[in-house]
Amino acid sequence: MPCSMFKLLIRPLLFLLPAETAHHFTLGLLKIILMVPGKKAIFRWLYCVNENRLNKTIFGLNFPNPVGLAAGFDKNAEYIDELACLGFGFIEIGTVTPLPQPGNEQPRLFRLPKDNALINRMGFNNDGAEKIAQRLKQRKSKIIVGGNIGKNKQTPNEKAVNDYVKCFDILFDHVDYFVVNVSSPNTPGLRELQEKAPLLHILNTLQLRNNARPARKPVLLKIAPDLSQEQLNDILEIVQASKIDGIIATNTTISREELKTEKTALEKIGAGGLSGKPVKEKSTNVLQYLYENSNQQIPLIGVGGIFSPKDAKEKIEAGAALLQVYTGFIYEGPALVKKICNELLQRER
């Protein structure tokens, strides 16, 4: 489906529905369509770019292309086989917590069409690590899957490390890499775990368990775009000290600066993390700072405001080894990944 058709016909209809309803409806419909014999092959022909020049080996994993789907889109690993037909080089599930939890009250996902943005306060709604692990066992596609892990809302911060360890142990045999999420603004107090001492404790504990395994898994850290330069320097020290494998820059922002959406509408929506075009510059600045101040030694995944091949190029030039999309995928449609991959191929000629 070309981007123009999606924007003119499909998106306006989906945007008539509440955001979360539209999300579940679309993924459910995709699953039904791809049950029809031959449809998966057609979707792969439409959306996948199979070209060896796109292959990238990062932290020991061979990615068929550098464009991934960010965490939050397929929280419960229900649609991996279907999403693998849309051209992604990898998919990140979660955020997964040890115990199932419903998340925050609905509505909790909001569109800001004037800003090409979303605000969410989902609150780590997920089926829990055990159920998600069982679902991962049953997937058929070989696409690289990352496990984004967090703590349950009721777990106090001083015991947060236990939740990360539980998720790590339960998911270890079923994902290709891990992401430690301490940067969501939608779990009370979670971002306090980005401070140096608690974060180093969590990462060191996970690394001890990781290194005790016969074959370890890459561990990454997902950070907020709202960190100060001093905090980013702390992050670089923590990564070096814990010897984790990379950083995802960035999660959503709590900022509401320079939005076109009316202030009254924003006040009505209330709290939540902002994603999409408004976070692009802030995320790219964080990415570039980390790249330049790590002597280009830390693999970085760039996410935040990627709506076009041009946006993807900016992230790569700022230091991203890999990319992730989420809000741009919702606004631009399934052809976005192929467009980015084709542009990356053009650059190599």
Is 184 part of the annotated catalytic residue set?
yes
Asked if residue 334 has a cis previous peptide bond (ω within 30° of 0), the answer is: no
Place of tokens 């009250």: 105
Q: How far is CA 130 from CA 102, 168, 169, 280, in A?
A: 15, 11, 10, 35
Catalytic residue among 141, 183, 184, 294: 184
Cite the beta strand spans of the chain per DSSP E: 56-58, 61-63, 67-69, 90-96, 109-112, 117-120, 144-149, 177-181, 219-223, 246-249, 273-276, 300-303, 322-325
Cite the beta strand spans of 121-237 per DSSP E: 144-149, 177-181, 219-223
Place of tokens 């397929």: 74
**Distance in Å from the first CA to the final CA of the chain:** 26
Report the DSSP beta bridge partners of residue 179: 148, 220
Q: What radius of gyration, in Å, describes the C-alpha atoms of the chain?
A: 19
Residues that are catalytic? 184
